[in-house]
Structure 1
Amino acid sequence: MSASDRTIQANFRLFYFLAFWALGGLYPLLSIYLKEEIRLSGSQIGTLVSIGPIVMVIAQPVWGLICDWTGRARTVLVTALLATGGIGLGFLFFDEYLPLLAAASSLALFQGAIIPISDTLTVNYAMRHRLDYGSFRLWGAIGFAAAGFAMGWLAERFGLSVIFYGFALTLWLGAASARRMPGDRISMRMDLRSGLSRLIRLPRFALFLLATFLVFGPIFANNTYMGLLFQSSGATVAGVGLGFLLAAGSEVPFMKIAGNWIRRRGALAVTLFAAGISALRWLFYFFEPDILWLYLTSVVQGLSTGLFIPAALIYVRNLAPEEAKTTAVSLYTAAGTGLGNWFCTLLGGWILETFDIFTTYLFFGILTAVGAMILWIVLRLEKTGTKKASPEPAGRP
């Protein structure tokens, strides 16, 4: 490997570390900031945080068109990083609900470009050089975990407003890193019409999308409400950061072994196992466990999220026909990280205001359990289809 290749690969790892540090340092503590500093209600917090996923679902195809039209994906990525960091700082100038809602919408508009474009650049480079995309993306999980702990510690000492400074700084450093990425001309187009016509003929795909909505929604909404859960059990802001370090950090080793588990057990079986673990975790939180048990069970996130994300993506890609893979992945992302995230974050805030944070996690647990049952149905359909496709053994003459 040449020195130039080593530098490029190190830069990809640095980018993911910085980009996900920004996300891990802001969103786990944002709900605490909105509750303690701005004094928003639970429903207001849910609405404000949930607006992001919906805006991103709408914005991501637009950013793809911009990249296709300009042919300068790297420049678009750098612009989005700089703008997102600047808008993040804008939160410090508002202390009322409606201006904050507008700021959250603007933030999501530009943030929606970051991961799809950077992932496409990274996958292109990895495929061209026969490298594993996961070896780069893994550094995002490390950055997210480290940021939760570090920013919690800093917020404990300097105030919660520090999370916005950390968010902007790391995204701007990420922009400097993105400028050194290979400037490939990439295509992010999606043939929605022909892709949908093939996918709607696959009942298993529709069921899997519904399961993704029910399982992924609580996983991502947990990033918003986990801080409030820990605080309700007596944790300090620094203690919240420690919880996120344990939870997000546990994903790293399981992401590394996920490929082996998927090859041995099958992607669908792994998603079912991960969804079951996730449901048990959310339901356990309904019983108001002691703070020690919250820390101990937070490492279960590796078994749930760390396995579900790669296994679900592989299953969707394997299930979809070749000409509809891009459409299938886009729909899968929209169902889970978009609509599911929005729905669970929004209703979670309403439940928090009406009841308490523990009832919010009961809601998450019920949804995830239903999602796991749907995955079990998909698994049975797959096994039934395999048996029907197998030739009958020849009878005796």
Structure 2
Amino acid sequence: MQQRTFFNMKGYFFFIYFGLGGLFPLLTVYLQDDVGLSGAQIGVITSIGPVVMILIQPVWGMFSDYTKRPKLLLTVASIGAGLSGLTYVFAEDYFLFVTIAALLAVFQSAVIPLSDSIAMNYVRRHGGDYGKIRMWGAVGFAVAVWIMGNLSDLFGLQVIFYGFAIVLFISAFFSTGMPNETATAKVDLKGGMRRLVKVDGFMLFLFITFLVYGPIMANNFYFGVLIQFVGGSLAGVGFAFLLAAGSEVPFMRWAGAWIYRRGILTILFAAALISGLRWIFYAAGPDPVWIYVTTIMQGFSIGLFVPAALQYVSEISPKEVRATAVSIYAAVGNGVGAFFFSMSAGLLIDWFSILAVYLFYGVCTLSGAFLLFVLVRKQPHIVRKPGT
């Protein structure tokens, strides 16, 4: 029974991230090349989602707390996201694109937090490794961009919307076999925030998350634009994402052991430093071959930063407000950070070029790495031994 549950959770993560990987990295290319929108317009479309998620995600959380049926909500959200993404096929007007992006975000704001919460609570109660479940999302994302990039070369970019809908419906099937795990702690943003601002390192880490994780999220939209700018093809975009997202898999698998040996903050610092150096390298406009070669840096940065950041927030937060802390952390990284860096990217493309976008990302991420180094010096006990 437990093996079947793990299989369904892994299957859900694989297909939900397959859908996200097949759509968002190529959506920006579609809006720029096929529709002919400006950088600023694309910036609005790519940044409207994070804003909606900040507003709607707590509503899904309240529904989950009230109904005690997160699995059902996850199924509904997966189907709703698939149908919303499919409507891109019929859109031609800029404002309709914005509306669809907002509608898709309403459902998307539930699928990742609910699935993460279900998986985290299940392994906490029954044993297991969240990283080994979550890595199947990285596998799905990597395979998706490669497959959809090649299909787009053959049939046109609109194929990404049909592919997105199909795999989201498949993910909904897997969600029905997931456990109906609910968090034991309630999210109290107002009361919890009053306590969390007094937690040593929490507010600083939120700012670091904004600087480091925001560019990581925005890169999913603009990496394809960079590949094409330096002379790559749509198939090349898919190949680059296959290497980049695929490299996350082994690092997510090893993350738990590395965090235990080296300490959470040390791993976070190393991940942020590598990520920042990667963006600076891309700002130089290298040949596509060198971008493909260096994509393994994504595995080291994202594959380690995501599980380590979540663990750090859980470690430093009082148990009673841990759910609130994780919710705020997710809102800053996935919401505020993704919005700011997606919106700014569109403007920088109009004013300069995609290379300026990655220079900006690099400077911000390296600033976050420096602040993590400061945090390492302030909290040596967390560096030495997680969980103390």
Asked if the contact 1:17–1:141 (Cα under 8 Å) also holds between the matched residues in 2, the reply is: yes
Cross-structure match for 1:392 = none
Aligned to 1:288: 285
1:139-164 residue CA offsets vs partner (Å, 9 max, x unmatched): 11110111010111111101100000
Match status 1:61 vs 2:58: yes
Measured against aligned partners, the alpha-carbon deviations of 1:14-48 in whole angstroms (never above 9, x if no partner) come to 11111110001001101000001111111111110
* Alpha-carbon distance in structure 1 between the residues aligned to 2:193 and 2:207: 16
Q: TM-score, normalized by length of structure 2?
A: 0.95
Contact residue 64 and residue 189 of structure 1 kept, 8 A: no
**TM-score (structure 1 length as normaliser):** 0.93
Find the counterpart in structure 1 of residue 197 from structure 2. Answer: 200
Which residue of structure 2 lines up, in the alignment, with residue 50 of structure 1?
A: 47
Query: Alpha carbons of 1:188 and 1:338: their partners in 2 closer, same or farther (altered >3 Å)?
Result: farther
Q: 1:153·1:238 contact (CA, 8 Å) conserved in 2?
A: yes
1-side partners of 2:268 and 2:111: how far apart? 26
Show the counterpart of 1:354: 351
Contact 2:139 2:246 in 1 (8 A): yes
* Structure 1: distance between partners of 2:252 and 2:382: 30
Aligned match of 1:77: 74
Contact kept? 2:8, 2:177, Cα under 8 Å? yes
The structural deviation recorded for 1:127 is 2.9
CA contact (8 A) 2:209 2:332 kept: yes
Letter in 2 for 1:140: G
- Give the aligned partner of residue 264 of structure 2: 267
Report the Cα offset of residue 187 of structure 1. Answer: 5.7
Alignment size in residue pairs = 384
Structure 1: distance between partners of 2:12 and 2:382: 43
Q: Which amino acid aligns with 1:364?
A: Y
Question: For residues 218 and 382 of structure 2, what CA distance do their matches in structure 1 show?
Answer: 35
Does the aligned pair in 1 maintain the 2:186–2:324 contact within 8 Å? no
How do 1:196-345 and structure 2 match up within 5 A? 196-345=193-342
CA distance in 2, matches of 1:361, 1:352: 10
Q: Deviations over 1:157-191 (max 9, x none)?
A: 01100000010000001111212223456667302
8 Å CA contact 1:276–1:372 kept in 2: the answer is: yes
Is 1:100 the equivalent of 2:97?
yes
Q: Distance in 2 between matches of 1:215 and 1:178?
A: 31
1:212 deviates by 0.7
- Name 1:389's counterpart in structure 2: none
Q: Is the 8 A contact 1:35 1:41 kept in 2?
A: yes
Gaps of at least 5 residues in structure 1 are 387-397
2:155 to 153, 158, 161: 158
> 2:120 aligned with 1:123, yes or no?
yes
SS of the residue aligned with 1:131? coil
* Residue aligning to 2:28: 31
Q: C-alpha distance in 2, partners of 1:383/1:11?
A: 39
* Separation of aligned partners in 2, 1:113 and 1:146: 23
Alpha-carbon deviation of 1:310? 1.2
CA separation of 1:225 and 1:185: change in aligned 2, threshold 3 A: closer
Distance 1:24 1:359, change over 3 A: same
| Distance in 2 of aligned mates of 1:66 and 1:279 | 38
In the TM superposition, what are the counterparts of 1:183-194 in structure 2 within 5 Å?
Answer: 183-184=180-181, 189-194=186-191
AA partner of residue 333 (structure 1):
A
Aligned to 2:378: 381
Compute the RMSD of aligned alpha carbons.
1.8
Match of 1:179 in 2: 176
Instruction: State the one-letter code of the partner of 2:287.
Output: D
Structure 2 unmatched runs, 5+: 384-388
Give the Å deviation of 1:80: 1.0
**Alpha-carbon distance change, 130 to 307 in structure 1, aligned in 2, over 3 angstroms:** same
For the 8 Å contact 1:38–1:96, the answer to whether it is kept is no
Aligned sequence identity (%): 46
Residue 393 of structure 1 corresponds to none
CA distance, structure 2, for counterparts of residue 266 and residue 110 of structure 1: 35
Q: Distance in 2 between matches of 1:298 and 1:307?
A: 15
- Does residue 86 (structure 1) correspond to residue 83 (structure 2)? The answer is yes
Conserved 8 A contact 1:72-1:183: yes
Letter of the aligned partner of 2:50 in structure 1? P
SS in 1 for 2:344: helix
In the alignment, the residues of structure 2 paired with residue 113 and residue 24 of structure 1 have an alpha-carbon distance, to the nearest angstrom, of 17
- For 2:257 and 2:67, how far apart are their aligned partners in 1? 40
Q: 1:199 to 1:239 in 2, by over 3 A?
A: same
Mapped partners of 2:114, 2:381: distance in 1: 39
TM-superposed CA distance for 1:384, in Å, is: 9.7
User: Structure 1 residue 69: deviation in Å?
Assistant: 2.0
Tell me the equivalent position of 2:130.
Answer: 133
Return the letter of the residue paired with 2:341. C
Distance 1:343 1:217, change over 3 A: same
Q: Distance in 1 between matches of 2:114 and 2:233?
A: 37
Q: Secondary structure at the match of 1:60?
A: helix
1:40 is paired with a residue whose SS is coil
Query: 1:265 Cα shift?
Result: 1.5
